[in-house]
A and B are shown apart, each in its own frame.
Chain A
Amino acid sequence: MASAPENEKNASAPEKKTLTLKSMINNEEFVVDEHVALQSVTIKNMVDSDCAGDVIPVPTISGEILALVIEYCKNHANPSASEDDLKKADAGIVAKDIYTLIDLVLAANFLDIKGLLEVTSQKIADSIKDLPHQDVREIFGVENDYTPEEEAAVRAEHDWAFEGFP
Chain B
Amino acid sequence: MLEKSKKRVKRGTTFTVNLHEDVLENIISFFPIKDATRCGQLSTRFKNAWRFCRNLVFDLDFARGLTKGNQIKVINRVFNQHLGPKIDIFHLYFDPTGVEALVKYWLKRVTLKGVEELDLDFTRGDVPFKLPSHLFEVESIRSLKLAHCRLNLSTQLQGLSFLKTLVLRRVNIKSIQIATIFANCFLLEGIELLRCFGTLHLEIFARRLKKYKQLVVRDCDITSIAIDAPTLSTLSFCGKVCHFGFYSPMLNLDEVVLIFTPTRSGFPRFCLVTSLMISISNVNILKVSSTFLELGEFPFENGLYWKMHGKPKLEKCNPTFQRLKKIMVKGFKFEMVELEMLKFFLNQAKFLESIALVPSRNCRSKGFSQDKYQIVFRLWKASPNAKIRCFAKHNLVLPHQRCNRCGQLSTGFKNAWRFCRNLVFDLDFARGLTKENQIRVINHVFYQHLGPKIDIFHLYFDPTDVEALVECWLKMVTLKGVEELDLDFTRGGVLFKLPSHLFEVKSIRSLKLTCCRFDLPDLPTQLHGLYFLKTLVLKRVNINTIQMEKIFAYCFLLEGIELLSCIGTVYLDIIGRHLKKYKQLVVGDCDIISISIDNPTVSTLSFCGEYCHFGFYSPMLNLDEAVLNITPTRSSFPRLCLVNNLVIGISTVNTFKVSSAFLKLGEVHLENGLYWEMHGKLELEKCNPSFPRLKKIMVNGFKFRTFELQMLKFFLKQAKFLESVALVPSGCYSKEFYQITDQLFCLWKASPNTTIRIFKSIWKIKNWNF
- Residue positions of A touching B, CB distance < 8 A: 60, 99, 102, 105-106, 109, 117, 121-122, 124-126, 128-129, 133, 136-146, 150-151, 154-155, 158, 160-165
Residues of chain A contacted by B12 (CB below 8 angstroms): 141
B70 touches A160 (CB 8 A): yes
Chain B: which residue is nearest A83 at the CB level?
B211
Interface string of B26-66 (1 = CB under 8 A from A): 11111111110111111111110010000000000010011
Residues of chain A contacted by B46 (CB below 8 angstroms): 142
Question: Which of A60, A139, A140, A150 contacts B21 (CB under 8 A)?
Answer: A140
Residues of chain B contacted by A142 (CB below 8 angstroms): 20-21, 24, 42-43, 45-46
A163/B65 contact (C-beta < 8 A), A121-B27, A124-B27, A141-B5 known: yes
What would be 9 A-B contacts, judged by CB atoms less than 8 Å apart? A121-B29, A121-B30, A133-B39, A137-B43, A140-B21, A142-B24, A158-B38, A158-B40, A160-B62
A128 touches B27 (CB 8 A): yes
Complex Cα–Cα for A121 and B33 (A): 16
Residues of chain B contacted by A155 (CB below 8 angstroms): 41
Residues of chain B contacted by A161 (CB below 8 angstroms): 33-35, 37-38
Closest 5 CB pairs of A and B: A125-B30, A161-B37, A141-B9, A138-B5, A158-B37
B44 touches A145 (CB 8 A): yes
A99/B4 contact (C-beta < 8 A), A146-B43, A165-B38 known: yes
B43 touches A144 (CB 8 A): yes
Question: Which of B8, B23, B38 contacts A162 (CB under 8 A)?
Answer: B38
Complex Cα–Cα for A117 and B27 (A): 9
Complex Cα–Cα for A143 and B41 (A): 11
B24 touches A160 (CB 8 A): no
Chain B: which residue is nearest A126 at the CB level?
B30
Task: Given A109-B26, A133-B41, A138-B1, output 7 extra A-B contacts at Cβ < 8 Å.
Answer: A102-B23, A122-B30, A124-B30, A126-B30, A139-B5, A141-B12, A142-B21
A121 touches B4 (CB 8 A): no
Tell me how far the C-beta of A90 lies from the nearest C-beta in chain B, rounded to whole angstroms.
Answer: 15
A109/B19 contact (C-beta < 8 A), A117-B26, A161-B34, A163-B65 known: yes
Complex Cα–Cα for A94 and B159 (A): 33
B450 touches A (CB below 8 Å): no
B17 touches A154 (CB 8 A): no
Tell me how far the C-beta of A132 lies from the nearest C-beta in chain B, rounded to whole angstroms.
Answer: 11
Residues of chain A contacted by B50 (CB below 8 angstroms): 158
Chain A: which residue is nearest B50 at the CB level?
A158
Tell me how far the C-beta of A107 lies from the nearest C-beta in chain B, rounded to whole angstroms.
Answer: 10
Chain A: which residue is nearest B2 at the CB level?
A138
Residues of chain A contacted by B30 (CB below 8 angstroms): 121-122, 124-126
Question: Which of B19, B27, B39, B42 contacts A144 (CB under 8 A)?
Answer: B42
Chain B: which residue is nearest A143 at the CB level?
B43
A129 touches B31 (CB 8 A): yes
A151/B23 contact (C-beta < 8 A), A99-B4, A121-B30, A139-B5 known: no
Residues of chain B contacted by A143 (CB below 8 angstroms): 43
Complex Cα–Cα for A106 and B16 (A): 9
Complex Cα–Cα for A139 and B16 (A): 13
Tell me how far the C-beta of A12 lies from the nearest C-beta in chain B, rounded to whole angstroms.
Answer: 35
Question: Which of B16, B26, B43 contacts A121 (CB under 8 A)?
Answer: B26
Complex Cα–Cα for A144 and B9 (A): 14
Complex Cα–Cα for A133 and B35 (A): 11
A140 touches B20 (CB 8 A): yes
Of B32, B43, B66, the most chain A CB neighbours within 10 A belong to B43
B442 touches A (CB below 8 Å): no
Residues of chain B contacted by A150 (CB below 8 angstroms): 44
A141 touches B41 (CB 8 A): no
B22 touches A (CB below 8 Å): yes
Tell me how far the C-beta of B405 lies from the nearest C-beta in chain A, rounded to whole angstroms.
Answer: 14
Complex Cα–Cα for A128 and B46 (A): 15
Chain B: which residue is nearest A101 at the CB level?
B27
Chain B: which residue is nearest A135 at the CB level?
B1
Question: Which of A109, A121, A136 contacts B42 (CB under 8 A)?
Answer: A136
Our count of residue pairs bridging A and B at CB distance below 8 angstroms stands at 98
Complex Cα–Cα for A164 and B38 (A): 12
Residues of chain B contacted by A128 (CB below 8 angstroms): 27
Residues of chain A contacted by B43 (CB below 8 angstroms): 137, 142-146
B642 touches A (CB below 8 Å): no
Chain A: which residue is nearest B40 at the CB level?
A154
Complex Cα–Cα for A141 and B16 (A): 10
Residues of chain B contacted by A60 (CB below 8 angstroms): 16
Complex Cα–Cα for A158 and B47 (A): 11
B74 touches A (CB below 8 Å): yes
B27 touches A125 (CB 8 A): yes
Residues of chain B contacted by A163 (CB below 8 angstroms): 65
Residues of chain A contacted by B41 (CB below 8 angstroms): 133, 146, 151, 154-155
Tell me how far the C-beta of B397 lies from the nearest C-beta in chain A, rounded to whole angstroms.
Answer: 28
Chain A: which residue is nearest B19 at the CB level?
A106
Tell me how far the C-beta of B23 lies from the nearest C-beta in chain A, rounded to whole angstroms.
Answer: 5
Residues of chain A contacted by B2 (CB below 8 angstroms): 138
Tell me how far the C-beta of A125 lies from the nearest C-beta in chain B, rounded to whole angstroms.
Answer: 4
Residues of chain A contacted by B8 (CB below 8 angstroms): 99, 141
A133 touches B42 (CB 8 A): yes
Tell me how far the C-beta of B67 lies from the nearest C-beta in chain A, rounded to whole angstroms.
Answer: 11
Complex Cα–Cα for A138 and B47 (A): 18
A106 touches B23 (CB 8 A): yes
Complex Cα–Cα for A144 and B45 (A): 9
A141 touches B22 (CB 8 A): no
Complex Cα–Cα for A105 and B23 (A): 7
B17 touches A141 (CB 8 A): yes
Residues of chain A contacted by B65 (CB below 8 angstroms): 160, 163-164
Tell me how far the C-beta of B320 lies from the nearest C-beta in chain A, rounded to whole angstroms.
Answer: 30
Complex Cα–Cα for A110 and B24 (A): 14
Residues of chain A contacted by B24 (CB below 8 angstroms): 136, 140, 142
Complex Cα–Cα for A124 and B43 (A): 19
Residues of chain A contacted by B40 (CB below 8 angstroms): 154, 158
B44 touches A146 (CB 8 A): yes
Complex Cα–Cα for A151 and B47 (A): 10
Chain A: which residue is nearest B33 at the CB level?
A161
Complex Cα–Cα for A163 and B37 (A): 12
Residues of chain A contacted by B17 (CB below 8 angstroms): 141
Residues of chain A contacted by B29 (CB below 8 angstroms): 121
Complex Cα–Cα for A30 and B30 (A): 32
Tell me how far the C-beta of A146 lies from the nearest C-beta in chain B, rounded to whole angstroms.
Answer: 6
Complex Cα–Cα for A128 and B28 (A): 9
Chain B: which residue is nearest A151 at the CB level?
B41
Complex Cα–Cα for A34 and B569 (A): 88
Residues of chain B contacted by A137 (CB below 8 angstroms): 42-43
Tell me how far the C-beta of A97 lies from the nearest C-beta in chain B, rounded to whole angstroms.
Answer: 10
Tell me how far the C-beta of B72 lies from the nearest C-beta in chain A, rounded to whole angstroms.
Answer: 12
Chain A: which residue is nearest B36 at the CB level?
A161
Interface string of B580-624 (1 = CB under 8 A from A): 000000000000000000000000000000000000000000000
A141 touches B31 (CB 8 A): no
Complex Cα–Cα for A137 and B17 (A): 12
Chain A: which residue is nearest B37 at the CB level?
A161
Chain B: which residue is nearest A105 at the CB level?
B23
Complex Cα–Cα for A154 and B46 (A): 11
Residues of chain B contacted by A109 (CB below 8 angstroms): 19, 22-23, 26
Chain A: which residue is nearest B164 at the CB level?
A83
Residues of chain B contacted by A99 (CB below 8 angstroms): 4, 8
B42 touches A141 (CB 8 A): no
The A-contacting residues of B in range 434-482, CB under 8 angstroms, are none
Complex Cα–Cα for A150 and B44 (A): 9
Chain B: which residue is nearest A144 at the CB level?
B43
Residues of chain A contacted by B19 (CB below 8 angstroms): 106, 109
Residues of chain B contacted by A162 (CB below 8 angstroms): 38
B35 touches A129 (CB 8 A): yes
Residues of chain A contacted by B28 (CB below 8 angstroms): 125
Chain B: which residue is nearest A138 at the CB level?
B5
Residues of chain B contacted by A139 (CB below 8 angstroms): 1, 5
Complex Cα–Cα for A158 and B39 (A): 11
Chain A: which residue is nearest B44 at the CB level?
A145
Chain B: which residue is nearest A141 at the CB level?
B9
Complex Cα–Cα for A40 and B30 (A): 22
